Amino acid sequence: MSRLLSVMYYAAKGAYFVVTQCLVIPVFITLHLLLLPIKVARPSLFWTIDAFLFEAAQGVVTSWLYVEGVTLKESGDILKLKAISNDEALLLCNHQSTSDIPIAMLSLYTKGEAAGHVMWIMDHVFRLTHFGWISQCHGDYFLKKPGGTKTERNNNLLKFKKHLRRTYLKTRKKWIFLFPEGGFLSTLKSSSQRYARKHGFPVLENVCLPRLGAASAVLDELAPKEGSSKIQDLSGKIKWIVDMTIAYPGGEAPNGVALVFSMGRCPPIHIHYRVFEVETVPRDEESFRDWMYNRYAEKDNMLKRFYKSGCFGDNLTEIVESDMTGAFLSLLFFAPWALCFSAYVYYPLLSILGVQWISFLVLLYIIYAFFNFVSYFWPTKQPENKCS
């Protein structure tokens, strides 16, 4: 009987997992297309609507975790973080698995305006996913895989800076979310440790040495140094750096699917925050590198302590209040739009193009996406953890 109940549960949760994505993604993209005239005529209004839609989409993601009983405990500079939720900030987070993204969303969803006004910086391979389609509409950015020649890395960063100049202020973003390690701990740990031993940097066990290019580019463009000509025209200057550390009990980070289907077996996940004023962060290349490496060495020690004791050692630890009502209202927002668009947009379009052509295009996308994901995650020699 228990086995049957488990099968029924997984079937029901799987259906909910798939159906919610089929509701949210087409509606989000279709609304963006239909609102293009407003984007041209009233960009501030358009990006206000976009922030609402993106926060609602995050609400649906968090609903997957709420029904599993996934909870968060936060420690560190929690009160300061709440106080700056409407300020411009750069969030730096450690990266262990695909679970980090829904966990970060679960945390951001309770942080007010920041939930909808966040710019995600992620690996270019995720451009191919359905979340990537939403992100492209939202103005997020996809960095290419670290490695290559110095010229290629510099060109990638120049494109990133150009995106920040054209998009961050225009789209009224507040927070920028970045994984500085450039990939999962499990895949980059050995190359990070080799690089650290070779150059005399801290050899870390629970995090990797951060790559500095993207974080440095954000500060160069959105928190220019005093005396820079950029600072006069920059009303949305980055004011804070938030160091965010996600810790999974036992040190085992499940993948995103396992977390979504954990059946209430996942113990509370801990997040520790440290907030720094940008003005206190050294900006020359070597000093900034040392500052970042020191933060990650501290992060490594905190995680080491957490895995031994089960906590970060701070006196202030709060359970993040869930917003189930908001999460499921988000789903109710997308459902009628999906029904309306299905009747008046998607079905007529399918009738014109024909199911066979649609199936062929979907098959081509699946092959293309599968090839890119396999080539990306196929075991290869990892590049050294270069600063740039």
Which segments of the chain does DSSP mark as H helices, in order? 2-34, 36-41, 43-66, 78-83, 100-108, 130-138, 150-163, 185-199, 213-222, 256-260, 285-309, 324-341, 347-353, 355-377
* pLDDT above 90 for 119: yes
* pLDDT above 70 for 155: yes
Least confident of 49-53, 112-116, 234-238, 269-273: 234-238
Phi, psi for residue 67 in degrees, rounded to 5 = -70, -15
How buried is 318 (Cβ within 10 angstroms: 0-12 exposed, 13-18 middle, 19+ buried)? exposed
Q: How far apart are the first and last CA of the chain?
A: 56
Judge contact between 68 and 263, C-beta under 8 A: yes
Q: Which among 96, 132, 91, 71 has a CA at the least distance from the CA of 267?
A: 71
Give CA angle at 112 (178, 336), nearest 5°: 100
Q: Which helix (H) or strand (E) holds 272?
A: strand 269-277
Give me the mean pLDDT over the 181-198 stretch: 92
Give the pLDDT confidence of 84-93 residue by residue, as tens digits. Answer: 888 999 999 9
How is residue 69 written in tokens? 């009983």
* Residue with tokens 């290869």, as numbered in its chain: 380
> For position 12, what pLDDT does the model report?
87
Q: Regarding predicted confidence, which is higher, 246 or 358? A: 246
Which is it for strands 141-143 and 118-123: parallel, antiparallel or unpaired? parallel
